Amino acid sequence: MSNVATSFGIEEALQELGINETNHGTSTGSNWMPGTDEIASYSPVDGALIGKVTTTTKDEYEQVIASASEAFKSWRVMPAPQRGEIVRQFGEELRRLKEPLGKLVSYEMGKSYQEGLGEVQEMIDICDFAVGLSRQLHGLTMHSERPGHRMYEQYHPLGIVGIISAFNFPVAVWSWNTALAWICGDVCVWKPSEKAPLCGIACQKIAAKVFADNNLPEGISCLINGDYKVGEYMTQDKRVPLVSATGSTRMGKIVAKTVGERLGKSLLELGGNNAIIVTPDADIKMTVIGAVFGAVGTAGQRCTSTRRLIIHESIYDQVKKALVDAYGQLRIGNPLDENNHVGPLIDTDAVAMYNQALEKVVAEGGNIIVPGGVLEGEGYESGCYVKPAIAEANNSYEIVQHETFAPVLYLLKYSGDVENAIDVQNGVAQGLSSAIMTNNLREAERFLSHAGSDCGIANVNIGTSGAEIGGAFGGEKETGGGRESGSDAWKVYMRRQTNTINYTTELPLAQGIKFDL
């Protein structure tokens, strides 16, 4: 174990979470299967090997699906409030293990320790939300046009929910899906990112303990590991009626096509190209705080990270100066050290993408005002630490039209009224998160109107990142259109059924049709 890991208690965290040097990567609960090939997980913090995880074979996948299918038969008939009690216990285990799991998230993925703890808190919050929801899976009652008839709607579990998650939120996004799917009566099969597989192992062990303590069958919570080929097992499998996938737009299009060809359901949370509009009536101090956290939090590797700042020409220079000053105060380094603001990118491939983006914006005519670059020397041995950069650009640039999963912020200038800024904001293929900074009520309401932001998330006087679990999370256009977490997002995990009951001795037909015998 590295000096960093020893200094910040990573060894103890791994032991508490049951993580070993080599871990079986396929599980139906307490049953762990040996797999074949291995995924090595290296920390972007210091480049050290954390542990290895075996990948799932096709035969093991078949065992997982068989176990999940069998578990569904009993899990679906358990009353929803009783399923909620299981989720409550899972949330309590997360509370108990919040610190070690938060450390693992930080060390394996690279986000700050505070953000790692925050991610586990999201898991706890969604469990609390799901517990309450377990008594509120409401349908509707409708009036029938036929005398002596009653109509209503109800929701039933789908079956097996397949979950494919990304590295940037290696535990929270899984919990958004599983907590809701479990209380809906579904069973889950999870393929975590191959870039953060140990987080998946830890979560599965926590869940398995809860299910075992309650004498529940194997298969309610399942884990598989591997690259995209293992994910294809689920996307191509008719026994998996819903696949929830988080990742790039490119990946999402493949998942949507594959699942759609078998008429399955897909829940897609894909790329974002998020903007903050800054009007002449904005509070500049609030704007800078929101923009800087949105742009550099998680080293720019959130799907809700702020990519574009659309600033009115009358305050452009003032905002630019304030941002440059703020970036000069950023501390980049070991994310487990709470004195630092920015940790590493996930790996050297991400660093190469970051460098290419900076080269591209200059080639297209942009002006870099806060230079980027890869950090070297003591503390940066992993090669994954980069400087957050700011570039003046135009929305029409090709690089600005695409999401760069790194801390690169583009400043865009607008003139005229807020409609012009909204047009710029909406002028990209993605539609996840958006924000406006203004103290002008008319501008704020215009931004939120039918002709305003075309994103799934639209905020006023806060940044683009940091969504609460109470609201449905997701976006439009190339972001995929899916909704997870709060509000009525639970409905995607269930099938809707319309019921009509005739309590008379007659059989009238709808629409007044006569059919006498």
DSSP label of 363: H
Cα–Cα distance measured from residue 42 to residue 51, given in angstroms and rounded to the nearest whole number: 7
CA distances from 375 to 283, 323, 380, 488 (A): 33, 21, 6, 44
User: Residues 1, 10: contact at Cβ < 8 Å?
Assistant: yes
Residue entry with tokens 């987080």: 199
In Å, the largest CA–CA distance within the chain is 90
* Dihedrals phi, psi of 233, to nearest 5 degrees: -55, -45
| Neighbour count for residue 509 (Cβ, 10 Å) | 9
Residue-by-residue DSSP string for 298-348: GGG-STT-EEEEEEETTTHHHHHHHHHHHHTT--BS-TTSTT-SB---SSH
User: Residues 219, 99: contact at Cβ < 8 Å?
Assistant: no
Cα–Cα distance measured from residue 403 to residue 67, given in angstroms and rounded to the nearest whole number: 39
184 carries an active-site annotation: no
- CA-nearest of 256, 217, 233, 106 to 171 is 106
Marked catalytic residue, from 303, 384, 403, 443: 303
CA distances from 461 to 278, 288, 326, 441 (A): 9, 11, 18, 11
CA distances from 255 to 153, 165, 174, 220, 250 (A): 30, 13, 17, 23, 9
- CA-nearest of 391, 446, 449, 455 to 426 is 455
* Residue partners of 248: CB distance under 8 A and separation at least 6: 270, 271, 403
Cα Rg of the chain, angstroms: 24
269 carries an active-site annotation: yes
Cα–Cα distance measured from residue 220 to residue 223, given in angstroms and rounded to the nearest whole number: 10
Q: 33-59 burial string, b = 16+ CB within 10 Å, else e?
A: bebeebbebbbbbbbbebbbbbbbbee
Question: Mapping DSSP to helix (H, G, I), strand (E, B) and coil, where does residue 277 land?
Answer: strand
Token pair in block for residue 499: 């019921």
Question: Mapping DSSP to helix (H, G, I), strand (E, B) and coil, where does residue 281 land?
Answer: coil
User: Residues 36, 55: contact at Cβ < 8 Å?
Assistant: yes
- CA-nearest of 384, 352, 362, 319 to 108 is 384
242 membership: H or E segment, kind and range: strand 242-246
Marked catalytic residue, from 60, 119, 194, 269: 269
Q: What amino acid positions are annotated as catalytic residues?
A: 269, 303
